[in-house]
Every structure is written in C-alpha cells, then in structure tokens.
Structure 1
Amino acid sequence: MTEQQLTPEGDSPPPSRQRPTLRGRLLTPRVLGIGSAVAAAAAAVALVFATQTAVQATSSPETTASTPIAADSTDEDAPEKAEEVAKPATIAAAYDALSGAEVEYVRFVGAQDAAFAAGVDVFGEPGLQFLSTDVADPQAYSDGQRRLISLYYDYATNETVSMIVNATTGAVEAVDRASGTQPAPTDAETSLAWELLLDSDAAQPVVDEFAALTGGSVLTPASAEVLLTAHSFVTDAGSFGAESCGVDRCVQVLAQVDGGAFLTTSTFVVNLSTRAVLSIS
C-alpha cells in the first residue's frame, strides 16, 4: 500500500505528501511557485519527469491587472482554448519567478504545436491535459533567454509530455514524452476522480459515513462540507487490485469533512485512463 492505513475516523493524509486542494467541484487557483529546475538541456525532461510535482501558476492582481484567462484553468477559459494570448509586454529575467501572464502565454504557444492537438485530455477531448508550468533552468542555456517547461498528460497514450517554450522568442523548442511517470493530479483530475468514485457501486459506504458525520446530509460531488486532496497512485509490491496504475493514470482521493474527520476512501483508487474505480488491499 502507498497510503496510510485506515482508522476508525476514516483516512488521514500521510504527513510526507504534499497535495493540491479543492472545495467541491470548484477549481481553486494555486500559489505561484517554482519546482525543481533542470540541470542541463539534455537532462531537462528526465529530471522534470522524475521530480516535478503539479505546481500550477495562477493569476493575481499583483501579476496580471485584467485578463479573463485563468493561468491554471483547464476549463473553457484555459489559455489553450483562447483565440489569442498576447505576449507579455515585459519578458521576465532568467531567474525571476513565474507570473500568471507568462504562464498564459506559453500555454497558448504550446497549444499551437501539433503535439498538443494530437493528444487527449482527461475529459476525452482533443488536446493534452495541462498539469503544470515551471521555469527552465537558465544554467542549461547560454543565451540568457527566458524558457518555461510545461507538463501535460496525454490520455491517448498514457504518457507525460514535457514542452519547453521560449518566452522570449515565442517558440516551442522541444517536446518530449515519457511513460510510467505520474506527476501529481490537478484540481480538474481530482474533481473528476471524486465524481467517478461517488458514481460507482463502491460509493455507498462512503455516502453512509458522510451522512453519519453530518447528521444525514446527502453526499454529492458538489458538497460544500467536503475538502478534497489527492495524489497520483502507482502500484507496488505491497498493494493489490490496481496493478495497471503507474502505466495508467490513477488518482487516490482523500475527503475531509468540515475540517475534521476523513471519509474512508483510501481503499479505493480511480483509474482516470479507464474511468474505473478500483478496490485495493
């Protein structure tokens, strides 16, 4: 098992894991951040695949004055679906932190690449599933130009896709793929996994537990009392029932009720590649 054992109060998250959160089905913007940087251009993809967590940049009043596009969105207002995203008036210096405006721009640029259009997202729609954007290590280049690395997941091939976009020139410089790597899930993937779990035959004990904790409330994907966290799941020698996870894109969801008890969900894994809810032991 890769998850903490169950307790009478339900599941509790392992203290060593760092997870994104969302409330109900609302996609919540995340804090701007920079994950681990790549050491050299040739090694960039391998290092990102091995260590990157799903850190998504988000717009804020301090970084973008007015734009309807959410830098971390995977919905209709996502940068990939925009007709045009203007290049930022000022290109950040090589070592500067991410801004929402440049994340929007490089995501839009990446979406014009043929590799993006050939992919499939978590909802089965054309286009790669966006995961995160990070700053490419300036030490890997000698020209001082600003480059960002975006991670995507291709549900058509079960591969993680790394795309390096030069924000200075507006060009996609590299697209690489790797199988068997599972970055942390996004809010959109977490929300869908929760919906699939609640819609499955396995959901009844979770629904009953929620009703007992809330005095009879009905559990739905949009229940405001529930705070979700999630992590990608890769099977190991000590777990059974989800042997395809690691090749397929799988997510394990934890659901906390009103900031208190956790529902007992860690015996389930949702395979987003096949839309199956798996019981594990």
Structure 2
Amino acid sequence: MTESPLPPGGDPPQPLRRRFLTPRSLGIASAVSAGAAAVALVFATQMAVQATAPEPGPSSTPIAADSTDENAPEKAETVAPPAVVAAAYDQLSGAEVEYVRHLGAQAPEFAAGVDVFGEPGLQFLSTDVADPQAYTDGQRRLLSLYYDYGTDETVSMIVNASTGAVESVDRASGSQPAPTDAETELAWRLLLESDAASALSEQFATLTAGSSLTPGSAEVELTAHSFVSDAAAFGAESCGAQRCVQLLAQVDGGSFLTTSTYVVNLSTRTILTVA
C-alpha cells in the first residue's frame, strides 16, 4: 500500500493517530467559509449547518453570525418570522435560522449557559432541520446545537418554527461537535500566546521571507477540529469531557506549520502537548 505524500515543510493535513470530528475551515483576516458538520449526539444525529459564512447565494447554505458577535440573532431585540413557514422537509433558509436562534435565546436555559469567552449565554454551534419522521403533525421544527462552557455539555434545542415555541432542551456530555469561527480564532490566539509560539513564529518567518506571525496573519488558513482523546493520544485525556480543538495552519496554500502536537483546551484555556 502506498501512503499519500506529505505536504512540504510541515504537518500533513490529516495527522495520524488522532480522532477528529468533522473539520471546520476558515481563513483568518480573509473570507470565511461555512460547511456542514456531522454531529453524533446521545440524543440526536444531524447534519449541522455551521454558524458563519459569506452572504449566501441562491443555492448555498444559510448562515448567521456567531452567537458572540454583536449582530447575532441571540442579541437582537426582535427577529421577524419568515414570511412563509417552510414545509417539514424543505431546505433551511437564512431567515428561519435567525428566527429560531432568536427564539432559542429567549429560553431560560440559554441565558443560564456560558459561551466560549465566559460571558452569559450558550455558545451557538449549528442549526438543522429536525427529523420530520419523528413527528406526525407536519409542522416545521429545527434543531439547534449549543455548547455550555459552564457545564461542559452540548445542548440540543428543538424549536417549532410553525408555532414559535421552544419544545425541548436536552443536554449531553462527552459529545464535541465541530468548532465555530469564534472558537477557532480563540484557540489560535491562545496557541500563539503559549510557549509554542516561538517555534511556530520561526517556521512562519522561514516560509514568508521574515514576516511576523500574529493571530491575524492573512497568510495563514486554519482548519479546526474538535479533538476527542483516545488510547493513542497521551497528554489530552480530558478532551472529550472538555471542549478541545486541534488546529492545522497552512501558509499561503502550501506548507503547514507544526501544530499537530498541540491541542487547545478551550474549557480551561490551556495548551496540551499530545504524543
């Protein structure tokens, strides 16, 4: 069997001996793209629509701001419902995603949570259509996923878009959906504030003819993965029970910085070295 060649000058895009959940990619100081994340939970399995992206086109995935952004639906005083309520099996629209996120933020469980920056309010992760086969009334329901940094639990919220009611809120521990832009950017900043920064800065300077590495360096494109510890990952045993992220940092579309030996624990804001 022939192994795939490694990219020059750094880590491979998919390091061995690591168990990742679905990756989340974004460009720091450049356009941010959204994708779909497969999320396995105790109480639900959904294809999750990511939190942020450029303005969608007619056939693109609907988006909204991170819940920590000032223009987030969770922080709006009011959000109008969609002009037409979609049928149970219809695709998501940006308008209904914002609407159900705003409705979810009115639930007491949302305000009782803590986001990635330690502020009140759950950290929004994703929204998707709730399985229509689980219901018999034909009404439109969406499933939103959040993370509570106060309890290290993933929170699942079912919102009925037809009636405007939050119908259920469930929690699960040990489940780690893909990180959002806000979580990824914080993980990158924490990594560059750690002892790992010196070696990363030297690599970056070599690859960019002497440029300085900062959290906003436009030459860096990040791919972030939720990291769950397994038998092969020594040094990050808390990951899975706590919210951990591993970063891959590509420079100018070519070489990768050596980041695969580090995991950022966002729950404790510490940098873990894994082997």
What is the TM-score when the length of structure 1 is the normalising length? 0.86
Give the counterpart of 1:125 among 116, 119, 130.
119
Aligned to 2:208: 214
Which stretch shows the higher mean deviation, 228-237 or 6-15? 6-15
Aligned to 2:72: 78
**Cα pair 1:118 1:128 within 8 Å, conserved:** yes
Relative distance call for 1:27 and 1:189 in structure 2 (3 A) is farther
Structure-1 separation of matches of 2:30 and 2:183:
12
- 1:196-219 per-residue CA deviation (whole Å, 9 max, x = no partner) reads 000111211111100011110000
Residue 55 (1) aligns with residue 50 (2): yes
How far the C-alpha of 1:243 sits from its partner, in A, is 1.1
Give the counterpart of 2:190 among 177, 193, 196.
196
**Cα pair 2:234 2:274 within 8 Å, conserved:** yes
Relative distance call for 1:234 and 1:17 in structure 2 (3 A) is closer
Aligned to 2:85: 91
Relative distance call for 1:54 and 1:87 in structure 2 (3 A) is closer
Aligned to 2:24: 20
Aligned length: 263
Aligned to 2:164: 170
What is the TM-score when the length of structure 2 is the normalising length? 0.88
| SS of residue in 2 equivalent to 1:46 | coil
State the one-letter code of the partner of 1:47. A
**Cα pair 1:122 1:189 within 8 Å, conserved:** yes
- 1:77-124 per-residue CA deviation (whole Å, 9 max, x = no partner) reads 110000110011101111111111000000000000000000000011
Question: Which portions of structure 1, spanning 4 or more consecutive aligned residues, are displaced by more than 4 angstroms?
Answer: 15-18, 33-36, 51-54
Give the counterpart of 1:100 among 82, 94, 101.
94
**Cα pair 1:228 1:253 within 8 Å, conserved:** yes
- 1:136-169 per-residue CA deviation (whole Å, 9 max, x = no partner) reads 0111101100000000000000000000000000
Structure-1 separation of matches of 2:52 and 2:267:
25
- Give the % identical residues: 65
Q: Tell me which protein shows more strand as a share of its residues.
A: 2
Residue 185 (1) aligns with residue 179 (2): yes
Structure-2 separation of matches of 1:123 and 1:114:
19
- 1:205-241 per-residue CA deviation (whole Å, 9 max, x = no partner) reads 1111000111100000100000000101111111111
